[in-house]
């Protein structure tokens, strides 16, 4: 079983320079396209619950606290998965690792559509989180294997658009299925799990077919040697398990990595608060229907595509690969619109603009705090471990957020119940003022922590 996932053996180096160039161009194109497309598609299986949250609450299947609890399970599972799978992915053939994760995640989504029991749903969703955790480390390792230091910022930025694509696809596409006519198809909430599951199976097939193993397993030199990237050539040694583990342990001895991890964790509180509860807030408090509410969240994630690319480009080109000034810039673009979204005028155009700016800033800062900043500092051979370390903090923060937000929302619940003999009809009312303070406060904490690393530079 483990052999199935293991990275291939290094092959004798090809002698033909032209063939090497051709192979690199072919595989590098495949890598970036496959990791963006399939990581994005995989996100649909992660976010399905967010879209059907309100229908589940309105139907009385789960309370906000229960939905928050179930949602938090995915994030805990993902945190653990991202860390452990981060360690494993450094040794694995990432195409198999990633493809299996996507397939199993699809199975969990199918399972969720048949469960109305909290503990079963929670168990399925923590496993889904675990399987979702196969993706990011696989993609990070693929990036580290196929793109060298002085270009990685741009490609990392490109890959970071994947989550925005996946979020957009979920909040627009899945909402379209569930929303009532005439805006949507009016399908039952179960379709919010069935369709994502189908999409993830397709993504798994694409990954398995097109994502390559490490260059050395294909008879190619390392990418640093091929691109003559001096910063990395010194480290382009043998793929030795003992040395990898030693380097992996070094990651947790770097204080800056801990601060980035905490900053990322705080930013993930806000990120997942808006993504998990933002559409519910817009429906409950602002009175939008399911489709419009999810469309607003889609705007934030669509803007995130540009935010990721802009962050990588700006920090590489204008700040000489220094992340802290770019962090401040994008952090402010993330924080200030939150005040407009939650406390600003009720005008829908202003709300839409605020969500776009927020999404742009958030995706940029996440591209940095969620990994790029750490990748700069950590040894490149253990890119997966660095990502995993940041990931476990980030997703534990996000997981705690989901439960805490659900609890705070549930605490504010007021019911208007119309009794009719043995049956009754209930309408729920919630107050989001306390959760909103929690969400914005987390962004402030993240900015302060990220700002404390102003003088930190890349290890190169």
Partner 1 sequence: MIAILSLGACGKDNGVDYCDNHYGFHTDHLDTIAELSIELTDSGDLDGRLMMPQAVFGDMAESDIRKLLGDAESTFVLQSEVPCRISVTNISSTDRKFEAQYAANCGTDNKLGRISVTLFDQLDGLEEVVASVTTSATSKRFAISRQCDAPIFRLD
- Residue 197 exposed, middle or buried by CB count within 10 Å (0-12, 13-18, 19+): buried
CA 251, 255, 256, 262 dihedral sign is positive
Helix (H, G, I), strand (E, B) or coil at 419: strand
Q: State how far the Cα of 402 lies from the Cα of 107, in Å rounded to an integer.
A: 23
Smallest distance, Å, CB 442 to partner 1?
Answer: 21
Which range of residues in 81-89, 189-197, 357-365, 393-401 is near partner 1 by CB under 8 A? 189-197
Number of residues that bind partner 1 (CB under 8 A): 36
Measure the CA angle with vertex 304, ends 303 and 306; round to 5°.
70
Query: Does 425 participate in binding partner 1 (rule CB under 8 A)?
Result: yes
Binds partner 1 by CB under 8 A, chosen from 37, 107, 187, 328:
187
Q: How far is CA 150 from CA 29, 315, 395, in A?
A: 17, 12, 28
Query: Does 58 participate in binding partner 1 (rule CB under 8 A)?
Result: yes
Binds partner 1 by CB under 8 A, chosen from 413, 438, 445, 458:
413
- Residue 208 exposed, middle or buried by CB count within 10 Å (0-12, 13-18, 19+): middle
Q: Which tokens in the block code for residue 252?
A: 């947790």
CA 228, 234, 237, 239 dihedral sign is negative
Query: Does 180 participate in binding partner 1 (rule CB under 8 A)?
Result: yes
Q: How far is CA 217 from CA 142, 143, 238, 308, in A?
A: 13, 15, 12, 31
Binds partner 1 by CB under 8 A, chosen from 59, 117, 209, 252:
59
Query: Does 432 participate in binding partner 1 (rule CB under 8 A)?
Result: yes
Binds partner 1 by CB under 8 A, chosen from 253, 346, 419, 455:
419
Which range of residues in 23-31, 294-302, 429-437, 438-446 is near partner 1 by CB under 8 A? 429-437
Query: Does 415 participate in binding partner 1 (rule CB under 8 A)?
Result: yes
Which range of residues in 72-80, 372-380, 427-435, 445-453 is near partner 1 by CB under 8 A? 427-435
Smallest distance, Å, CB 192 to partner 1?
Answer: 11
Decide whether 168 or 192 has the Cβ nearer to partner 1: 192
- Residue 189 exposed, middle or buried by CB count within 10 Å (0-12, 13-18, 19+): buried
Binding mask 130-169 for partner 1 (x = CB under 8 A): ----------------------------------------
Query: Does 437 participate in binding partner 1 (rule CB under 8 A)?
Result: no
Which range of residues in 119-127, 160-168, 214-222, 418-426 is near partner 1 by CB under 8 A? 418-426
Query: Does 346 participate in binding partner 1 (rule CB under 8 A)?
Result: no
Which of the residues 348 through 387 are near partner 1 (CB under 8 A)? none
Q: State how far the Cα of 30 lies from the Cα of 324, in Å rounded to an integer.
A: 31
* The residue to which tokens 């653990």 are assigned: 80
Binds partner 1 by CB under 8 A, chosen from 255, 346, 416, 455:
416
Q: State how far the Cα of 186 lies from the Cα of 237, in Å rounded to an integer.
A: 57
- Residue 140's CB is within 10 A of a number of other CB atoms, namely 29
Which of the residues 193 through 232 are near partner 1 (CB under 8 A)? 194-195, 198
- Residue 343's CB is within 10 A of a number of other CB atoms, namely 10
Smallest distance, Å, CB 403 to partner 1?
Answer: 21
Binds partner 1 by CB under 8 A, chosen from 2, 234, 242, 421:
421
Is residue 97 within 8 A of residue 88, CB to CB? The reply is: yes
Smallest distance, Å, CB 266 to partner 1?
Answer: 26
Query: Does 63 participate in binding partner 1 (rule CB under 8 A)?
Result: no
Question: Where do contacts with partner 1 occur on this chain (CB under 8 A)?
Answer: 58-59, 177, 180-181, 185-188, 191, 194-195, 198, 284-285, 287, 412-421, 423-427, 429-433
């Amino acid at each position: 079983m483990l052999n199935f996932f293991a990275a291939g053996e290094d092959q004798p180096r090809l002698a033909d320079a032209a063939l090497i160039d051709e192979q690199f161009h072919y595989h590098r194109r495949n890598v970036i396209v496959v990791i963006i497309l399939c990581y994005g598609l995989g996100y649909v299986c992660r976010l399905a619950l967010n879209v059907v949250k309100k229908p589940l609450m309105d139907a009385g299947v789960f309370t906000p606290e229960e939905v928050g609890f179930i949602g938090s399970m995915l994030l805990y599972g993902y945190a653990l998965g991202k860390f452990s799978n981060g360690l494993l992915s450094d040794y694995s053939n990432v195409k198999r690792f990633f493809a299996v994760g996507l397939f199993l995640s699809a199975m969990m989504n199918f399972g969720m559509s048949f469960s109305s029991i909290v503990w079963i749903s929670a168990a399925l969703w923590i496993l889904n989180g675990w399987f979702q955790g196969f993706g990011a480390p696989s993609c990070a390792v693929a990036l580290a294997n196929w793109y060298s230091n002085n270009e990685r910022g741009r490609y990392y930025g490109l890959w970071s658009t994947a989550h925005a694509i996946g979020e957009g696809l979920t909040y627009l596409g899945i909402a379209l299925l569930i929303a009532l006519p005439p805006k949507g198809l009016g399908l039952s909430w179960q379709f919010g799990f069935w369709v994502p599951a189908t999409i993830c199976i397709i993504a798994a097939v694409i990954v398995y077919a097109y994502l390559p193993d490490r260059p050395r397993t294909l008879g190619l030199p390392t990418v640093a040697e091929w691109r003559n990237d001096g910063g990395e050539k010194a480290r382009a040694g043998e793929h030795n398990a003992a040395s990898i583990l030693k380097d992996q342990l070094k990651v947790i001895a770097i204080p800056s990595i801990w601060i980035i991890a905490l900053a990322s964790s705080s930013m993930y509180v806000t990120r997942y608060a808006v993504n998990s509860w933002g559409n519910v807030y817009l429906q409950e408090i602002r009175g939008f229907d399911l489709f419009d509410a999810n469309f607003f969240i889609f705007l934030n994630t669509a803007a995130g595509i540009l935010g990721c690319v802009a962050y990588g480009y700006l920090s590489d080109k204008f700040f000489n690969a220094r992340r802290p000034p770019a962090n401040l810039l994008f952090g402010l673009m993330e924080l200030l619109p939150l005040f407009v979204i939650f406390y600003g005028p009720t005008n829908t155009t202003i709300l839409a603009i605020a969500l776009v700016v927020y999404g742009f800033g958030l995706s940029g800062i996440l591209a940095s705090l969620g990994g790029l900043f750490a990748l700069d500092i950590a040894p490149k051979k253990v890119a997966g471990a660095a990502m995993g370390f940041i990931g476990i903090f980030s997703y534990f923060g996000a997981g705690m957020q989901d439960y805490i937000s659900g609890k705070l929302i549930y605490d504010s619940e007021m019911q208007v119940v119309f009794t009719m003999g043995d049956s009754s009809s209930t309408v729920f009312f919630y107050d989001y003022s306390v959760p909103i303070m929690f969400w914005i406060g987390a962004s402030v904490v993240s900015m302060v922590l990220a700002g404390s690393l102003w003088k930190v530079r890349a290890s190169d």
